[in-house]
Chain A
Amino acid sequence: MREHVEKLLEEGKVDAVLGQRNLGGFPFPFIYTKENISDTAEDFVAGMRYPMPKIFLAMHRDNPDKTFGVVVRGCEERALNEMLKWNQIEADKVVKLGYACSQTQAEACECREPYPTEVLLGDKVDPVAKSERVAEVDELDLGARLDWWKSHFNRCMRCYACRDVCPVCFCKECSLEEPDLIPTEMLPPDMTFHLVRAVHMAGKCIDCGMCEEICSVHIPLRVLFKKVRDIVSETFDYTPGKVDGKSPFNMLGDAVEFSPRPL
């Protein structure tokens, strides 16, 4: 990884590289440049989960002419791929520098692809095919499911952190802030708040889990969005995060493959 990054910076293929760095014993997102690269001994990966794609998006919007390298995990690469597909970033302005997650991380995330397509650092570990957390909710009957979700949603304080951290929530105007849709005078917000986001995540969520990680009241948001992903992949045979393919909600297709469900 190190040689690769040094070479990219040296040859001017990238203007800077976004990675992480240990500062005073704590990992931070860090921008490596030709000037500072020789002072840094680290491996660009400090083990912490930061919203790297979202940080890159901000850098890209502020510096549209610059090319950046981004050190990415599997999910972060998928996020960049979605940003590309939704025309948020320019393909030739980003160079992905991939590293594999640990087995512990993959299991904690119940991750189906804990590595990017090209791995420069670390070894690919076993993916986790099925989410036990989703299965646990699936096993409940309708009433118990509703109670379970409400017992979590009732802690929501509408801080919007889940949206702000999400790599595929990049809209300039957000429906969640539309008072006619979700009245603002109510806390916790109506379940509609989470369901609207769930609808918007269909065909977009790449299962990075940042929403759940940032939620300060520990709402199991990832379970909801994992399910959204499952529905989309089972119903439409589409998995967000790949370079090719388009969201089934973004195109009509060549044939009607569905019919209304019977009464």
Chain B
Amino acid sequence: MSNQEKTKFEPKVLAFLCTWCTYAGADLAGVSRLQYPPNIRNIRVLCSATVSPHHILKAFAKGADGVMVGGCHIGDCHYLKGNWMTVKRMNFIQDLIDFVGLDSGRLHLDWISAAEGPKFAQVVTDFTKKVKDMGKAESTSAGLADA
């Protein structure tokens, strides 16, 4: 991508947000009228641990340029230890996708509580900027046309 294309490029960022914390944090950011990029599409989930690697892989296959998972801080998960599993999975998937040449930088996990509206806005802003600078994500199609 040329620099000019990069400036015009608007990444698609998909976010899986735990309803008990990060989703509420996003809500707070909204009612507090904090600005953050509109590139993000939020999907509300019951717990960050309900986000399967399948969802993440599917998001990239469908053309997401970045995928973010937001969960409760350790100790605050409403299912006690759900997010313990989330962080293990995310670490693993990041290493795995790096090995096949898809950039793990396009996948981000953060703990954002219901009270952290400003943190939500900040993380979304920073992540969107990072993904924008990375440019369009590589297609996961294995077809020759894309290879």
CB within 8 Å of B: which residues of A?
A: 137-138, 140, 142-151, 153-154, 156, 175, 181, 186, 188-196, 198-199, 202, 224, 227-228, 231-232, 235-236, 248-249, 252-253, 256, 258-261, 263
Contacts and interface: CB of A to CB of B under 8 A. Distances in A.
A263 B104 CA distance: 11
Contacts of A147: 101, 147
20 contacts: A149-B100, A150-B146, A150-B147, A153-B142, A154-B147, A186-B143, A191-B140, A192-B58, A192-B61, A195-B57, A199-B57, A199-B96, A227-B96, A228-B96, A231-B95, A235-B91, A248-B88, A256-B84, A258-B91, A263-B126
Closest 4 CB pairs of A and B: A146-B101, A145-B101, A153-B142, A150-B147
Interface string B48-78: 0000011001101100000000000010000
A154 B99 CA distance: 17
A239 B89 CA distance: 16
Contacts of A196: 53-54, 57
A228 B60 CA distance: 20
A126 B117 CA distance: 57
B41 interface: no
A235 B111 CA distance: 21
Contacts of B74: 256
Interface string B98-110: 1111111000111
Given A199-B93, A256-B84, A260-B87, A154 B143 contact: yes
Nearest to B97: A195
A149 B103 CA distance: 14
Contacts of A232: 92
Contact of A224 (B87, B95, B99, B143): B99
B100 A191 contact: yes
Contacts of A193: 142
Nearest to B95: A231
A193 B54 CA distance: 10
B109 A195 contact: no
B33 interface: no
A22 B136 CA distance: 56
A142 B98 CA distance: 7
Interface in B10-65: 53-54, 57-58, 60-61
Contacts of A192: 57-58, 60-61, 140
B84 A252 contact: yes
B9 to A, nearest CB: 18
Contacts of B143: 154, 186, 188
B120 interface: no
A263 B147 contact: no
A150 B142 contact: yes
B90 interface: yes
Most B CB contacts (10 A, CB to CB) among A148, A191, A198, A228 go to A191
Contact of A253 (B54, B84, B103, B126): B84
Contact of A146 (B93, B109, B127, B138): B138
Nearest to B70: A260
Contacts of A189: 142
A137 B101 CA distance: 10
